[in-house]
Amino acid sequence: TSLAGFPDSLLRGHSASIAISYRLNQIQYYRYQPKGKMHPKDEKSVAMERLGILQQVICNTLSLSVDEVAAASFLQLGGDSLTAIEVSARCYSSGLTVSVIDIMRCSTLEEVASLASVNDEGLGDGSSSPWSLVAEEELPSIMSQVQEQCHLGPEEEIQDVYPTTALQEGLMMLAVKQPGSYLTTSTIKLAAGVDVGRFQAAWEQTLDVCELLRTRIVHCGSQTLQAVIRTKAKWQYATTLATYAQQVRDLRMTYGSPLCQYWLLDQGTQKVFGIAIHHAIYDAWSLRLILQTVAKLYNGQEVLPMQLVPYTGLIQYITRLDRAKSGEYWRKQLNGASPSSIAFMEGTPSPADGAGSESLMHKIGFQIDSTVPVTITGASVLRAAWAIVVSQYSSSEEAVFGATVTGRQAPIVGVERMAGPAICTVPVRIRVSGKHYPAPCLQQINNYTCAGSSHGQRV
């Protein structure tokens, strides 16, 4: 990728779909009465204030006027799951806690506002102190195993250890079974005006503030844990793209190994930054945050701790989920279901170990009619369309498949500023009746998606 004028271009090319949070006037829930006493406002006034803040946030997020948002759902106004995350974050900055799921699910903004609450001043980003997410009595053994599996030197320090998500655990298992899988490599050509030393310093500072770039995953008994390692930056160098490509091919990212490696390619007048990073420590959302951080630091801007939320917030949220409740939810949803077998793929040769590595990507452009009187998303339309295809080719009246979601619908303060992987894959079961999907069926799919969001990280 060629970036002319590195910092500005980087920000333009990788700007996240989240704007800098701003603060509206905090909601005032008390009014003065005679003799200086304060009494709670009546319920109607409170509801109107909540609705007013919600409408203003949505207007700014979707570039709409107040009149346009008066009588419609968020999805009918053109919102989607990504902008819903932004709205939730902006509302929180304005003193109002609104869940992403409610924004997506409710048929009117009045209903969303009625479910909102005043921010709990004691509510943080859910992050925890180091070492608090593993059993204290196991720490000596864990420290020893991390030291051994990661082959740490005397200058390297273990900063924290905590559990992995189900996604991270699964991806590392695949990394062993299919070497090179879920490994992303990329090169960025640095424009002639870029100060290479300054760029390297910005990247090294980014490694400090984005701790998952220094995280390794280890096996400790029956547990899969991730260890944050404080270490000096380890640049690799090459003079040609061919040399860099060969070094990348020789990489083996597995348990105990670094999951992010980086290069500086010196091709004379052209300098190139190369990176190889495993999906166990990033997703597309967090990569945008990482690149934004590099650009800010290159420009001399300070990146404060509160601007990036620790990944432990997600881990702590997951560990507190009700496993039994989530398990019961998915058992009920998938009772009697069988994975769909698609006939048009039966002739495709499969590897001996049953693990495929091919993919097909096709972009489809479409727009949902804003006059449709239901709250549906583009994802719901695509799921419905895929269900019809799967149903036809599998000669079944239902389709069962996996869908990857952002995972940032989780009620974690600042989840939109968390530089780590939140995505998760959830099972989707759609019963197909007839040849067409009327609006009620699409609404049902959307409701199914919203309901499953609360249990996605436990699949």
Is pLDDT at 292 greater than 90 in this prediction?
yes
For residue 445, the model assigns a pLDDT of 86
For residue 165, the model assigns a pLDDT of 94
Choose the weakest-confidence range: 106-120, 139-153, 436-450.
436-450
pLDDT band at 7 (very low <50, low <70, confident <90, very high): very low
CA distances in angstroms from 166 to 127, 240, 418, listed in the order given: 19, 38, 17
| Section 122-145 average pLDDT | 83
Q: What structural domains does the chain harbor?
A: 8-118 (1.10.1200.10), 136-308 (3.30.559.10), 322-341+369-458 (3.30.559.30)
The SS3 call for residue 283 is coil
pLDDT band at 397 (very low <50, low <70, confident <90, very high): confident
pLDDT tens-place string over residues 369-395 = 666 656 778 888 889 889 888 888 888
Is pLDDT at 38 greater than 80 in this prediction?
no
Question: Encoding tokens for residue 404?
Answer: 């990857």
Is pLDDT at 124 greater than 70 in this prediction?
no
Is pLDDT at 206 greater than 50 in this prediction?
yes
Phi, then psi, of 324 in degrees rounded to 5: -65, -40
pLDDT tens-place string over residues 168-192 = 999 999 999 998 889 999 999 999 8
Choose the weakest-confidence range: 29-33, 364-368, 405-409.
29-33
For residue 341, the model assigns a pLDDT of 76
Among 105, 84, 72, smallest CA distance to 17 is for: 84
Rounded to whole angstroms, how far apart are CA atoms 427 and 408?
17
Decide which of 157 and 27 is more confident. 157
pLDDT tens-place string over residues 296-322 = 999 999 887 668 899 999 999 999 888
pLDDT tens-place string over residues 317-371 = 999 888 899 889 999 999 988 877 775 555 555 554 545 556 778 887 776 666 6
Q: Which helix (H) or strand (E) holds 367?
A: none
**CA Rg, the chain, in Å?**
24
| Section 417-441 average pLDDT | 83
| Section 235-259 average pLDDT | 94
Q: What is the DSSP letter of 332?
A: H
For residue 174, the model assigns a pLDDT of 93
pLDDT tens-place string over residues 61-105 = 999 998 888 778 898 888 888 999 999 999 998 889 999 999 988
pLDDT band at 6 (very low <50, low <70, confident <90, very high): very low
For residue 435, the model assigns a pLDDT of 59
For residue 364, the model assigns a pLDDT of 78
Rounded to whole angstroms, how far apart are CA atoms 23 and 69?
20
Q: How many helices (H) and strands (E) does the chain have?
A: 14, 14
For residue 131, the model assigns a pLDDT of 93
Whole-structure pTM value: 0.80
For residue 307, the model assigns a pLDDT of 80
Query: What's 231-273 look like in SS3?
Result: CCCCCEEECCHHHHHHHHHCCCCCCCCCCEEEEEEEECCEEEE
Is pLDDT at 128 greater than 80 in this prediction?
no
For residue 159, the model assigns a pLDDT of 96
Rounded to whole angstroms, how far apart are CA atoms 232 and 200?
13
